[in-house]
Amino acid sequence: MPEPRVVPASCLCGGVQIELDPPFELASFCHCGNCRKHSGHAGSAAMRVPIEKMRIVSGEELIEHFQPGPGLAVRFFCRTCGSSLFGMNDVASDEAWVRLGVLDADPGVRPSRHTWADSAPAWLPVPEDGLTRFPQRSV
């Protein structure tokens, strides 16, 4: 078993610095409309991290959150640069979905599924990559 190491993450302006403890078990592509709006891209790629394996090293005061509606995932972002950092099912959740785009090293895990595949935009359909697809929320 490889020696555990820390995977660093940071926002675009560098104000928020996060450390994550591998191994990570699950990563997904999400094509839902909320991920699309929040990222400005086709959706999001994120990995599940228990919150005890995630430390905000600096910039905690810069992290804002937004919940698009009741029961919808809460989105955490840097208020200075707007980077999407992670999502949580609610603010008291014991796990976060950390956006792969803010990682500063290879986390090891690879996305294994597509969620909300039916919501993918016409201009970037879900690729035929053999990964598990969920038409909407995963089960």
The answer to whether the CB of 108 falls within 8 A of the CB of 57 is no
The answer to whether the CB of 18 falls within 8 A of the CB of 63 is no
Closer of 20 and 85 to Zn ion (Cβ): 85
Does 119 bind Zn ion (CB under 5 A)? Our answer is no
Shortest Å distance, C-beta 16 to Zn ion = 5
Closer of 7 and 35 to Zn ion (Cβ): 35
Taking the alpha carbons at both ends of the chain, their separation in whole angstroms is 30
Which span (76-84, 89-97, 104-112, 120-128) binds Zn ion, by CB under 5 A? Answer: 76-84
Q: Which residue in the set 78, 88, 96, 117 belongs to the binding site for Zn ion (CB under 5 A)?
A: 78
Mark 24-63 with x for binding to Zn ion (rule: CB under 5 A) and - for no binding.
------x-x--x----------------------------
DSSP state of 93: -
Type and span of the H or E element at 111: none
Nearest to 7 by CA among 20, 16, 24, 17: 20
Antiparallel, parallel or unpaired: β 84-88 and 95-99: antiparallel
Shortest Å distance, C-beta 2 to Zn ion = 31
Nearest to 82 by CA among 70, 104, 66: 66
Closer of 30 and 88 to Zn ion (Cβ): 30
| Residue numbers at the binding site for Zn ion (CB under 5 A) | 11, 13, 15, 30, 32, 35, 78, 80-81
